[in-house]
Chain A
Amino acid sequence: MGGSDSHRRSRLAPYLLVAPGILWLLAFFVAPLVILASTSVGQGGAWYETYGLALGRYGPHFLRSFRYALAATLLALVLGYPLAYFIAFRAGRLRYPFLGLVILPFFVTFLVRTFAWKTILGDGGPAVWLLQRLHLLGAHGRLLDTSIAVVGGLTYTFLPFMVLPVYASLEKLDRRLVEAAEDLYATPGAAFRRVVLPLSLPGVFAGSLLTFIPAAGDFINAQLLGSPNQQMLGTVIQNQFLDVRDYPLAAALSFVLMALITVVVLAYARLLGTEELA
């Protein structure tokens, strides 16, 4: 009796454990997406007009958002991979303090950090002064309100999201494989290209997603560091939702953004050969 009772309890246990959290996600993540979808198709036909308008009028914003997000992801990879490699293979006992340094910026509110970039990049600020001295920027050249500032800000905001997954995949890597490659007379460069890099691709994939997706939807960097010429899709969605209150159009824009992101992610997964996400 008692045996079958506890057996039943342990079969039910996982469901009881996941139920509250999963119900929360169903109610406040999945259901809202369903409502957003129904809002985007509006009441009574003509949904294709809404979507046509979304793509037609805001096509340039889509293109710009994806271009900026792609540039930021590539930059974050170039900056972040060597840092992750350094922490995993060269930092020794200081590995965790170094990881702490990568996480520490999170404790300072993202918005305040972006305002600090405004000060650094502003006209008459240190960055403009330095670049003018090096004759990389003309006498009236600016950094603020350019796409360089926006992409730089996006890269900065999401860099830790690139470093951490890459680090995790490098740390898990079996170092004996590298030793084996070296024993077989592979040069350090070849050992990296043929052994370390392929094994770290899952981390690169996760890091790229965690950088690209939020960057494509971000609007703070474009709003604070750019001019209306650098406006990204996030600003449009925010305006349509909170100011213009054209809910069907705003919802359609959100869905096109998600669909395009899904296409990019799937293409990228195929490129890297990592079909598995988590």
Chain B
Amino acid sequence: MTERLRRWLLGAWAWLVLGYLFLPIVVIVAYSFNQPAGKFNFVWKSFSLEAWRHPFAHPALVDAMRLSLRVAALSTAVATVLGTFIALALTRYRFRGSAAVSLLLVLPLTTPEVVLGSSLLSLFLDLGVRTGFATIVVAHVMFSISYVALTVRARLRGFDWTLEEAAMDLGASPLRVFRSVTLPLIAPGVVAAALLAFVLSLDDFIITLFNAGSEVTYPLYVYGARRAAFPPQINVMATALLLAGLIAAGATTLYFRTAKVFASTESPLR
């Protein structure tokens, strides 16, 4: 095989795999413009802007989306703070027990979601806690902490901590050092981690199914929709989320002037 053919084949394969990744997304966006024959938007009938003109036509769907956004905002805020603290401790200090902390961070990622969800429900049943909004948030913070901590830690490796000492030598207070030296340097990693936590929360189905009680998040609504009705507004919401994700990623990339924001999310395990 010549070098040129080899290169061509590799490029073609890469584009094919990207095509596979985007095929369902193309279908989702296209079907947001469908006018389905019945209650289920699974078969193409005719082009229509109806769903885009009335994206909030289904109150239950809107409520579900609102709940998902509230859960994601709250759990991201908590998990980002807790996870970033752990990452700071692991990269900034050498301390007894740090290996155990690292292991504890990896374990939730290597536990199947059914087990995470069902065991958490066992705890709530045992304690007599009613499942609902609070238990969903508790569950989402639990699985997001690991992703945040590992993402921020990956970003902080090789970070020059002497900059902090230099600032202190110049008479800056600890708070001032954190605000003007540490925070700006770790910010891209923290923002990437927060984005990741937000997306994971918005997307989570299995763990939420166990701990939602009678609450219905966006994925739970979609799951139920397979029985009752699957309106094209579901596709409109999905498309809107995709656009919001693109804008958020683009904006953070531009703001930090480095596409590395995305790269920091590259691997939670390494």
Contact = CB atoms under 8 A, between A and B. Distances in A.
A5 B199 CA distance: 42
Main secondary structure of the interface of B (DSSP, over half): helix
B49 interface: no
A254 B259 CA distance: 40
A202 B122 contact: no
B234 interface: yes
B88 A112 contact: no
Contacts of B20: 79, 156, 159
A258 B138 contact: no
Nearest to A258: B115
Interface string A137-169: 000000000000000000010011000110111
Interface residues of B, number: 100
Contacts of B246: 104, 107
Contacts of B11: 86, 90
A213 B111 contact: yes
Interface in A16-45: 17-18, 20-22, 24-26, 28-33, 35-36, 39
B223 A111 contact: yes
A168 B270 contact: yes
Interface centre among A10, A15, A104, A257 (most CB of B within 10 A): A104
Given A24-B142, A32-B123, A80-B17, A119 B31 contact: yes
A265 B123 contact: no
Nearest to A30: B104
B267 A165 contact: yes
Main secondary structure of the interface of A (DSSP, over half): helix
7 contacts: A14-B92, A25-B104, A26-B104, A99-B262, A99-B266, A159-B20, A164-B267
Interface of B: 3, 6-7, 10-11, 13-14, 17-18, 20-25, 27-28, 31, 42-43, 81-83, 85-86, 88-90, 92-93, 95, 97-98, 101-116, 118-123, 125-126, 138-139, 141-142, 145-146, 149-150, 199-200, 202-203, 205-206, 209-210, 218-219, 222-223, 226, 230, 234-235, 238-239, 241-242, 244-246, 249, 253, 259-260, 262-263, 265-270
